[in-house]
Structure 1
């Protein structure tokens, strides 16, 4: 049975070659990528992450991912508009940390919840620094519409 299947597949390949369906394919005449490099067991994972433009942090175990996210809090909250949004972000991250602490998986790594007050303090400091660098925000021009002079009113 397998011999007939292989023969049928080979026949289809030969007819496709005769029709020219394999001519002018992308990469034709170019060497195979990674041909002269040493063998790497996780080559397919690395190529998948590169092809899909995914961060390599996804390969880390959960506690290390959480620690990385806690370390990156100042960068993540820098563009948030309000203190309440910063506290909500830190609260969501702390909920994930507590969920992991209740049912730990992966290596035994110390992970502590983030301090929301410290995150807000750093957020304010970064915001004040950026305002000092750029100067005060320009005020919109005052319009005369809606401006009223009680003494200039006609009766």
Structure 2
């Protein structure tokens, strides 16, 4: 079959025909993964699933793949756990202030992707929550 789709032929038929001919020629024999089950779907498309598996396999954090607006939102959600590992009030304050600086910068530079809806974190409130969590443990 030629490299171009013939006129008046459906795209689906043309692709199916090319696959069938390649299968008859044995071009799919001995491919890596032959006979192995497909990975469980995550609800994402195949390309996204592949990227997520590769990133995790490399030992990297998949949060790095999020658009900036969503990454900042996630970081604010994860902030209490992040602050729990800090030893001093100065460190807690520095972490929250640095996050707020990045949030402000994102509002100044936000041009694409999902809307940026994350609010600045109240430093004193975060510090008080940190103190309470340390007193409880």
* Aligned pair partner of 2:56 in 50, 53, 75: 50
1:61, distance to aligned residue in structure 2 (A): 0.9
Q: Which has the larger radius of gyration?
A: 1
Q: Does 1:72 align with 2:72?
A: no
Match of 2:27 in 1: none
Match of 2:127 in 1: 120
Structure 2 counterparts to residues 115-154 of structure 1, below 5 A: 115-130=122-137
What's the secondary structure of 2:133's corresponding residue?
helix
Cα contact 2:110–2:116 (8 A) shared by 1: no
1:113, distance to aligned residue in structure 2 (A): 1.1
What's the secondary structure of 2:104's corresponding residue?
helix
Superposition TM-score, scaled by structure 1 size: 0.57
1:127-147 deviations in Å (ceiling 9; x for gaps): 0001xxxxxxxxxxxxxxxxx
**In 1, distance between residues paired with 2:108 and 2:126?**
24
**In 1, distance between residues paired with 2:54 and 2:70?**
21
1:78, distance to aligned residue in structure 2 (A): 0.8
Distance 1:82-1:35 versus aligned 2 partners, 3 A rule = closer
C-alpha RMSD of the superposition: 2.6
1:43, distance to aligned residue in structure 2 (A): 3.9
**In 1, distance between residues paired with 2:76 and 2:89?**
17
Structure 1 stretch 89-98 or stretch 55-64: which is displaced more? Answer: 55-64
Count of equivalent residues? 102
Match of 2:90 in 1: 84
Gap runs ≥5 in structure 1: 1-27, 131-155
1:35, distance to aligned residue in structure 2 (A): 7.9
Q: Which runs of 4 or more aligned residues in structure 1 lie more than 3 Å from their structure 2 counterparts after TM superposition?
A: 28-33
